[in-house]
Amino acid sequence: MTKLSVNINKIATIRNSRGGESPNVVEAAINCQKFGADGITIHPRPDQRHITRQDVYGIKPIINTEYNIEGFPSEDFINMVLEVNPEQVTLVPDGPNVITSCAGWDTIKFQDYLKEIISIFKEKRIRTSVFVNAKIEMVEGAAACGTDRIELYTEDYAVGYKTNKQKAILPYKLAAKRANELGLGINAGHDLSLENLEYFAKEIEKLDEVSIGHALISDALYLGLENSIQIYKRLL
């Protein structure tokens, strides 16, 4: 079954809006795992507007599933990941002023750069995933970089699902097929929701993991965190 990694950035956003420790990010990570999440995802940014460096280190000891740290591979980010030693690191091309991830890597243009970064994490036996658009050439470029997995950027699918889900899913099926041929694991994330997740998971062959934050935490406001996680799990 495809694993569900819960991105808890939005928990930190709520906390930071008032300061203090409520809601508590570490407690949220504990509860997400207790309620059935297969992993915890965080995406620390240089301005610490949601997940802070303290959060990154504080969450590690309570992980009993998998810890996935996303981010742009700056020197500070690389050093932090090496110190924390999570199960997975996901490399995204976001600059410091980006509100949320909005594009995948150009794995051809940045191939040498990514290859060097990935080799650093591989020496520490940290599984690497590279955030890519659903384009075959980007998947092939990612494989040439030496990554273990790709994470398919799914905003285009989420937008297109509302009008023509068969058309929206096609590039992702083709990209996933090529990834499977190249021996890459497949993750996916961005704007996956209760509306569109089930169809995506059924159509994408050998989908290892989805990372969901905004939609799931928003649903939890109405449905409760435990119930929301269980509903998402059932869709997978």
C-beta of residue 151 within 8 angstroms of C-beta of residue 130? yes
**CATH of range 3-235; options 3.20.20.70, 3.40.190.10, 3.30.420.40, 3.90.1150.10:** 3.20.20.70
Tens place of pLDDT per residue across the chain (236 aa): 899 999 999 999 999 999 999 999 999 999 999 999 999 999 999 888 899 999 999 999 999 999 999 999 999 999 999 999 999 999 999 765 554 556 789 999 999 999 999 999 999 999 999 999 999 999 999 999 999 999 999 999 999 999 999 999 999 999 999 999 999 999 999 999 999 999 999 999 999 999 999 999 999 999 999 999 999 999 99
Q: Which of 236, 217, 235 minimizes the C-alpha distance to 10?
A: 217
C-beta of residue 186 within 8 angstroms of C-beta of residue 206? yes
Q: What is the C-alpha separation between 231 and 26, in angstroms, rounded?
A: 22
Query: How large is the greatest C-alpha to C-alpha distance in the chain, in angstroms?
Result: 48
Task: Please state the pTM of the whole predicted model.
Answer: 0.94
H or E element that contains 232: helix 225-235
C-beta of residue 11 within 8 angstroms of C-beta of residue 45? no
Q: What is the C-alpha separation between 41 and 50, in angstroms, rounded?
A: 13
- The residue ranges of every structural domain in the chain are 3-235
Q: Which two tokens stand for residue 67?
A: 């810890």
Residues annotated as catalytic are: 43, 70, 190
